[in-house]
Amino acid sequence: MRDIMGMMGKVKEMQAKMEQMQAEIAELTAEGKAGGGLVTVLISGKGDLKSLKIDPSLFKEDDVEILEDLIVAAHKDAKDKAEALAAEKTKALTAGLPIPPGFKLPF
């Protein structure tokens, strides 16, 4: 019975740490670039677009399609970086726990 109580205490502690980690991840920002820095986006740890910067040299009528593609690429770059930061924080928190491969935290 004592083991169950100890395990429950660890679960509560882990839950508190997960909540704190989720708050920290939400405050993270990641910058993504595309086109050699012609398009730059800044996103939150949750993937929300915070800012978008476009080099003025891209404002030509024939380059609209290219510009759209660069914005998408820059957003993906930033999102990948934000996910990597979140995974790193999660890995440090869950070190030593028997979590199956591919299982993503936070849920």
Residue-level pLDDT at 36? 92
Residue-level pLDDT at 107? 44
* Residue 107 is assigned to a structural domain of this protein: no
CB 70 within 8 A of CB 106: no
CB 32 within 8 A of CB 76: yes
Residue-level pLDDT at 19? 85
Which residue type, as a one-letter code, is found at position 95?
Answer: A
* Residue 105 is assigned to a structural domain of this protein: no
Q: What range defines the domain where residue 90 resides?
A: 1-94
* Residue 99 is assigned to a structural domain of this protein: no
Strand partners, 91: none
Looking at the structure of the chain, the number of domains it has is 1
Stated pTM of the model = 0.55
* Residue 106 is assigned to a structural domain of this protein: no
Mean of the per-residue pLDDT values of the chain = 79
User: In angstroms, what CA-CA distances link 22 with 42, 55, 58, 65?
Assistant: 19, 34, 37, 36
User: In angstroms, what CA-CA distances link 27 with 21, 80, 82, 93?
Assistant: 10, 16, 11, 17
In this prediction, the residues of the chain whose per-residue pLDDT falls under 50 are: 107
CATH of the domain at 17: 3.30.1310.10
Strand locations in 4-86 (E):
29-34, 39-44, 49-54
Rg (CA), the chain: 20
Residue-level pLDDT at 97? 61
